[in-house]
């Protein structure tokens, strides 16, 4: 839901709406649609040796050489697959207006690291005022990425890269603790599936840097006090709450035991390290699905609550959450919690960001209304759980959702930070996760990035199919976006050079 401005020469079929046109007639569209875009009937020709040039007044942002190299490779790769003798690529349709030899990039400021307040805006001018030059002006390096992405998408049969700018990494859960901490190594040694099934800090930093070079933030989630079964062996004998039945231990354990100071000390030690590894200003503290039954069965907790005048288990939960918030404050981290923390009546400050994930039938609107009415910022996840699959096309349901559609005031709407497309891992692994995510997540990306009026599946249908074809060309095994051509030959197929089954030039 960031501001994005672009002025492009390109595809003349922007008003095709829901007509069933051959997919190649949608070549050169942009996904997600910019906030503002001017389209003409002209096309440009790209020179095979197109050059990227930084204006003299622009600062030297450290990721710019990587960005230029990456997009030069993307453009030049299509000269290779278009024709071994071809030296030029068509940029649009209709009458030619000139040959583009240079992309001139002007940057106002270097921000170095993506953040909540990063400036991703850009303007892109093609063919005007100079036919031989593309002019891209970006407020920061992130706008360069998005501007060049829009430019490459306007080229017929060019490569694809999804547009999302945050990875919310739910890195640990009750089944496994794969984060290999250097200060608390026993957590992963005893809590991971095996000592081989871990993320080392070196690997995590590689992922963060890979994301940074693409203008993507990485926000980790260490979900507590629930979802912590795997923490128990490494957390110590008092970390998880022993559960009782008829006054006797039943051998099971519940959430983190919030009555012991050493558990807060452990979390402070862990989060201090996490703060050094993950540079983003936000940390997700979790707080969802905390079962109170085990706490209720434990006599030590009952005695503690009586001694400290705690009358509800939401107050006990608040005790733990406040401890985590205090640690986040001390580390100068902003924080996000799941909606249960708010719904359970835990007292949280207005600094708290609440992520709404329940109510996929539409009751999420009531929660979003209540959260923003109370003065808290909100993130909507409820309608976009990609792990929930159904027969047929489901991305169209994602595409019509508007996060501010809950009858709130203008001030409430300002508190909606955006949305999240979730892929939970109960039924996915490396064999099927990419197919499940793409291109369905692209529908969510455009819904959150483009103007709120861009919400009609009809005009998006063939554009999304073209996206899917581009992903296949990149080597990303995206599932069909619309009806399979084996059922209806007017739908869903990828023309040369995108079809991996008919194209020897399949890109990886």
Answer yes or no: 289 catalytic: yes
The Cα 5–Cα 121 span in angstroms is 6
- Of 289, 351, 396, 466, the catalytic one is 289
Tokens of 327: 């640690």
Other C-beta atoms lying within 10 Å of the C-beta of residue 485: 13
3-state secondary structure of 135: strand
List helix spans (H) across 155-260.
186-191, 201-212, 232-235
3-state secondary structure of 221: strand
Tokens of 129: 């005022």
- Looking only at the bridges linking them, the beta strands covering 217-221 and 240-245 are unpaired
Judged by phi (left if over 0) then psi (alpha if -120 to 50, else beta), residue 319 lies in alpha
Contact in structure between 337 and 227 (CB atoms under 8 Å): no
Contact in structure between 181 and 273 (CB atoms under 8 Å): yes
Other C-beta atoms lying within 10 Å of the C-beta of residue 492: 20
The Cα 84–Cα 165 span in angstroms is 36
Q: CA torsion, points 370, 282, 323, 349, in degrees to nearest 10? A: -30
Which helix (H) or strand (E) is 397 found in, with range?
Answer: helix 395-399
Tokens of 296: 């209720």
Contacts of 507 (CB under 8 A, 6+ apart): 77, 81, 159, 473, 474, 475
Backbone CA torsion sign across 4, 354, 390, 397: negative
Integer angstrom CA distances of residue 365 from 356, 359, 369, 461: 9, 8, 6, 27
Angle between helices 261-277 and 201-212 (to 10 degrees): 50
The string of DSSP letters for 59-84 reads ---TTHHHHHHHHHHHHHHHHHHH-S
The string of DSSP letters for 312-323 reads SHHHHHHHHHHH
**DSSP, res 250:** E
Integer angstrom CA distances of residue 384 from 163, 177, 371, 410, 464: 16, 26, 19, 24, 17
As a whole number of angstroms, the longest Cα–Cα distance in the chain is 84
The Cα 277–Cα 268 span in angstroms is 14
Tell the burial category of 23 from Cβ atoms under 10 Å away from its Cβ (0-12, 13-18, 19+).
buried
The residues carrying an active-site annotation are: 289
């Amino acid at each position: 839901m960031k501001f994005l401005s672009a002025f492009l020469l390109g595809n003349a079929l922007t008003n095709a709406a829901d007509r069933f046109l051959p997919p190649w007639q949608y070549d050169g569209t942009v996904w997600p649609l910019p906030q503002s875009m001017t389209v003409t009937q002209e096309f440009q020709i790209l020179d095979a040796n197109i050059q990227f040039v930084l204006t003299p007044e622009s600062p030297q942002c450290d990721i710019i050489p990587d960005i230029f190299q990456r997009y030069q490779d993307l453009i030049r790769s299509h000269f290779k697959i278009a024709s071994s003798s071809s030296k030029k690529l068509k940029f649009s349709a209709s009458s030619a207006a000139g040959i583009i030899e240079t992309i001139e990039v002007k940057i106002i400021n270097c921000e170095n690291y993506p953040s909540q307040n990063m400036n991703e805006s850009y303007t892109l001018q093609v063919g005007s005022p100079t036919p031989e030059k593309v002019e891209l002006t970006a407020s920061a390096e992130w706008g360069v990425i998005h501007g060049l992405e829009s430019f490459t998408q306007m080229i017929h049969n060019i490569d694809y890269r999804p547009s999302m700018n945050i990875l919310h990494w739910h890195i640990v859960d009750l089944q496994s603790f794969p984060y290999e901490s250097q200060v608390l190594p026993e957590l992963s040694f005893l809590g991971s599936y095996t000592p081989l099934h871990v993320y080392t800090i070196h690997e995590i930093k590689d992922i963060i840097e890979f994301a940074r070079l693409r203008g993507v933030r990485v926000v980790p989630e260490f979900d507590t006090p629930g979802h912590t079964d795997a923490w128990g062996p490494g957390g110590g004998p008092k970390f998880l709450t022993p559960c009782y039945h008829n006054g006797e231990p039943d051998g099971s354990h519940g959430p983190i035991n919030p009555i012991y100071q050493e558990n807060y000390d452990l979390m402070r030690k862990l989060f201090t390290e996490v703060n050094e590894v993950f540079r983003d200003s936000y940390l997700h503290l979790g707080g969802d699905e905390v079962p109170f039954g085990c706490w209720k069965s434990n006599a030590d907790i009952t005695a503690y609550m009586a001694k400290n005048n705690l009358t509800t288990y939401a107050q006990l939960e608040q005790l733990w959450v406040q401890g985590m918030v205090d640690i986040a404050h001390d580390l100068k981290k902003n924080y996000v919690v799941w909606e249960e923390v708010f719904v359970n009546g835990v007292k949280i400050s207005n600094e708290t960001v609440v992520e709404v994930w329940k109510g996929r039938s539409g009751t999420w609107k009531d929660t979003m209304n209540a959260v923003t009415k109370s003065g808290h910022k909100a993130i909507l996840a409820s309608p976009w759980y990609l792990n929930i699959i159904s027969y047929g096309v489901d991305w169209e349901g994602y595409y019509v959702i508007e996060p501010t559609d809950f009858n709130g005031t203008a001030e409430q709407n300002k508190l909606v930070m955006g949305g999240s497309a979730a892929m939970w891992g109960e039924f996915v692994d490396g064999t099927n996760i990419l197919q499940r995510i793409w291109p369905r997540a692209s529908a969510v990306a455009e819904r959150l990035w483009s103007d709120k009026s861009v919400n009609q599946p009809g005009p998006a249908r063939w554009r999304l199919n073209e996206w899917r074809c581009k992903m296949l060309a990149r080597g990303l095994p995206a599932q069909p976006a619309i009806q399979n051509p084996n059922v209806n030959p007017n739908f869903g197929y990828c023309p040369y050079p995108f079809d991996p089954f008919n194209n020897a030039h399949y890109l990886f």
